[in-house]
Structure 1
Amino acid sequence: MALTKEFKAKDIRETLAATGMKGKNITFLDDFSREQILSLYQSAEMLEPFMRTGTNLLQGKTLYTLFFQPSTRTRCSHENAMLRLGGNVITEADPLHNSSAAKNESLYDSLRVTSQYADVIVMRHPDDKEALGAIEELGSNGSPIISGGYGHVTHPTQGLLDSYSCYRAFGDLENATVVISSPDLSRARSGQSFALALAAMGARIVYTGTSELRTPDIIREKLTRMGARWEEHFDLNVKQHEELFADVGADLVYLPGCSVKKDDPNREDFMKKLSNHYISLEMLENIKKKTGKVVGVHHSLPRNPGEFDMAIDATEHELYFKAIGFSVAIRMALLAAVVGVN
């Protein structure tokens, strides 16, 4: 590294400002450049030492979490992150029963009201069109809103966590190949947001799914517009998946999990197709013998029996639990970037 006039000690305020996220809604990750996302990663890395001890970067600021769907990791990690930043949290985990939504208040009205209480909102909503419509109508009349998952198409905070975990594991993602594997790519919102983050960082993306449940057009269009390196494979069996992972030089296989609820009539069909995407420890060991490569396995969680071999938990291939260790730092960085630090 050459000595330059700009050489000086790191200042997290400058790194957060370089994200360009202050005051912005976080909806789709193609809204941000490689440099902006990299600045967010760098901010998160600077905040990792404070995940337990805390800091006062957002003292006096308030986060409102509004979750119309169940959540453990997304909601709790954002709340934890805000508290570690010295801020405050108002949480609503069941708005259809506990808020004025139960009295037929519109989502627009709810967001305009709660914006008076909070500096930033993290929202999860089952209908992406309703959520995006309300946010567009709100415009500048509300606090910035971070998507904690809208419908089946976007979950940017999960995409940032997954890509940050890869950045910490592999470094420069331009050299990484990530396989996104699901029998239903049409409803794999965490996988699709991960793909957008990977595309922004220059990684190679390999999809494998079923031909009748492909990646939504909105994501395909975004990837194409971004000039992403991506390809698709369909209707492979377990052995063919093993060969694919070895042939493409996969660094990581990502499983977006099942968004089909227990009472959904399509769940049985999903679980049947899932057997073709099963990852065993033996498969990973075979690939290592063939290529010399340790292929990581990542999952958005919660996981279902039959998705992959639980023996992977205790091996070098496991990333899904390790990623939770990075979740508070990346969400501390995201909240600080969106709210802004003086």
Structure 2
Amino acid sequence: MAITADFKARDIRDHLDATGMKGRNITFLDDFSREQITHLFKAAEMLEPFMRTGLNLLEGKALYTLFFQPSTRTRCSHEDAMIRLGGKVITEADPMHNSSAAKNESLYDSLRVTSKYADVIVMRHPDDGEVLPTLERLGSDSSPIISGGYGHVTHPTQGLLDSYTCYRAFDGNFDDMTVVISSPDLSRARSGQSFALALANMGAKIVYTGTSELRTPEVIRRKLNAMGARWEEHVDLDRKQHEELFADVKADLVYLPGCSVKKDDPNREDFMRKLNNHYISLEMLENVKRKTGKTVGIHHSLPRNPGEFDDVIDQTAHEVYFKAIEFSVAVRMALLASVVGVN
């Protein structure tokens, strides 16, 4: 061990700059390298002590949250993060009734206009087929836009939060980490797919388990393969087979991306029926621990549905979903500061 020329006091601005995110849209997590995401996580760790007290890294800056779909955690944590950074927030949680979108304003025009008011935008939208071409058309004629969830395929801020939670839980040791992503509908599991891209980027192994008719979207498969990711997909397993899978792959964490099928969707009944095979009980986890010695973490993007897993897990060491909320403001503080820039 020797002293090097770059030995100096830690400066959060170094990590924020090194993310390479300043002025950029955050859409898919494979747009950034492992090193860049690691710098984001180091900045988030430095910001954890300020989640309540705050600090003025973005004083005088404004965030606009534009949510075409309902949200509690994603919208509120970004707004809280901006306030803790000393910035201001403009929020629109129902644009189809309260904004000019109700008067048939195009998404392109809306984003060009709101960019004049804000330094960064966090947007949730149900149609990635509309959003992605709009972002390409906007180019530099907009403030940077962070996806708070587009369509069924991408939710990068959730993926960053979930992977940061793993970073903290497992001391940043992604190379030896195996994460199972379990859902009857992997085709619409945008939080799970963004988590997978982040994990793959960081070197973890991903094990999908789903159903044969609703598999991982082709766009995600291409991205994982292009990254040289370690991943596999299993389909149509029953509960006992799921327990055996968790033990066989020596899972560190099982991630449940929830259901994006709304209550009035005719497909929801089919989803809930198939969910029965993905149900996780405390007994299953205890059986896995006896076989592998591992306390398997159970994580969920929330909100959860009845019948996804045993509620008693809330009071055990397996619970990760509520612990992750503790990290959400810090990682989103780091993301906003990286995208807006502090220098």
TM range (shorter): over 0.9
Q: 1:195: how far off?
A: 0.2
SS of structure 1 residue aligned to 2:139: helix
2:51 corresponds to? 51
Q: 1:132: how far off?
A: 1.0
The CA distance in 2 between the partners of 1:174 and 1:124, in whole Å, is 31
User: 1:92-141: per-residue Cα shift (whole Å, max 9, x none)?
Assistant: 00000000000000000000000000000000000001111111111101
Give the 5 Å matches for 1:41-190. Answer: 41-171=41-171, 172-190=173-191
User: 1:123-169: per-residue Cα shift (whole Å, max 9, x none)?
Assistant: 00000011111111111011000000000000000000000000000
> TM-score, length-normalised on structure 2?
0.99
Q: 1:62: how far off?
A: 0.1
Output the amino acid matched with 2:211: T
Give the 5 Å matches for 1:10-21. Answer: 10-21=10-21
SS of structure 2 residue aligned to 1:179: strand
Q: 1:5: how far off?
A: 1.2
> Structure 1 residue 263 and structure 2 residue 257: aligned?
no
The CA distance in 2 between the partners of 1:323 and 1:173, in whole Å, is 17
Output the amino acid matched with 2:189: A
> Structure 1 residue 224 and structure 2 residue 235: aligned?
no
SS of structure 2 residue aligned to 1:159: helix
Q: 1:3: how far off?
A: 1.6
Runs of 4 or more above 4 Å deviation: none
Q: 1:329: how far off?
A: 0.2
> TM-score, length-normalised on structure 1?
0.99
Unpaired runs of 5+ in structure 2? Answer: none
2:274 corresponds to? 273
SS of structure 2 residue aligned to 1:141: coil
> Structure 1 residue 299 and structure 2 residue 300: aligned?
yes
The CA distance in 2 between the partners of 1:322 and 1:301, in whole Å, is 12
SS of structure 2 residue aligned to 1:140: coil
1:201 corresponds to? 202
Q: 1:2: how far off?
A: 3.0
> Structure 1 residue 33 and structure 2 residue 33: aligned?
yes
SS of structure 1 residue aligned to 2:140: helix
The alignment yields a C-alpha RMSD, in angstroms, of 0.5
> Percent identity between the aligned chains?
82
> Structure 1 residue 323 and structure 2 residue 327: aligned?
no
Q: 1:208: how far off?
A: 0.3
How many equivalent residue pairs?
Answer: 342
User: 1:34-55: per-residue Cα shift (whole Å, max 9, x none)?
Assistant: 0000000000000000000000
The CA distance in 2 between the partners of 1:66 and 1:31, in whole Å, is 23
